[in-house]
Amino acid sequence: MRVLVTGGAGFIGSHVVQELAARGHEPVVFDLRQDEGADVRDEKAVREALAGVDAVSHQAAKVGLGTGFGDAPDYVSHNDLGTAVLLSAMADAGVRRLVLAGSMVVYGEGRYTCAHHGVVRPGPRAVAELAAGRFEPLCPVCGAELAPGLVGEDAPTDPRNVYATTKLAQEHLAAAWARATDGTAVSLRYHNVYGPRMPRDTPYAGVAALFRSALARGETPRVFEDGLQRRDFVHVRDVAAANATALEDAAAPGALAVYNTGSGDPHTVGEMAGAIADAYGGPRPVVTGEYRLGDVRHVTADSSRLRATLGWRARVGFTEGMREFAGEVAAG
């Protein structure tokens, strides 16, 4: 297949390009980082790039929580307007296969169980509770402690920041495009992706990159809250393989298929910071008690649907992956 990879020079996109080429496909890179600055919001440029293309891997996006609500217009422009321009051009060009870089942030908080009321959905955490160091959400019915579990694709969506809202809107646009064109659309809801080529020293970078950058500067990594918030850290090469597998799959047309894309091996943010520090040989992380509004407490993936349907599974283990990730800076 000839596959247009938007964001193909970026962190995840560059690995998707590499994986596609290794499988004998012909990836075509479309990215703002290129010399000529290809912008997915540029209708003319997108239409030209789609010439002769069989499928699209849509990785281009503005990512992370950003620096405040003032980022909202930029997020909506890059993520939602950009996706709409791309899908419109695909409809006109007759390109009927799409894999979208989705995100676990569309769920908001993960899955919680109350001993008295079963599965419940706690609301957004209150500023007063966070400021007092009470980070765990409580049962919205009785106020009891909750047990976090794995969230599946059929869980209700509840985006709690601007970035999350734009990622859910991308999925709705992709679903509408699939219905209108009888196209094949897949959203891979990435969990916390890390690995080589991850951006450094930017407020839009993932927490793993921020920890690694601190170590490279000789500083102590600062872990927010109490460090016990749970995430699913998945290696970028595994995510790239999931993209290639989804592109090759003969999925049913006319609807959006959604798959969680995680390692299936949850760890706390504190454990992740410690693993990077140990591998780098730097100072141990410090837990600060700080917090960010819009962050959620626990969200970890049930990726069994992706494994069962497409035969994909994560292959890079947590310790191995963090050692490689830390070594990328140490070697540089």
Which residues are the active-site residues? 163
Q: How far apart are CA 235 and CA 130, in angstroms?
A: 30
The conformational region for residue 281 under phi > 0 = left, psi -120 to 50 = alpha, else beta, is left
**Comparing C-alpha atoms, which of 88, 248, 251 is closest to residue 180?**
88
Cα–Cα distances (Å) from 241 to 20, 22, 95, 155, 234, in that order, read: 8, 10, 22, 25, 12
Query: How far from 86 is each of 26, 51, 100, 105, CA to CA, in Å?
Result: 19, 13, 11, 22
CA distances from 21 to 3, 13, 17, 71 (A): 10, 12, 6, 35
Question: What order do you get walking across the sheet with 55-58 strand by strand?
Answer: 26-30, 2-6, 55-58, 97-103, 184-190, 255-261
The string of DSSP codes covering 119-147 is: EE---PPPHHHHHTT--S-B-TTT--BEE
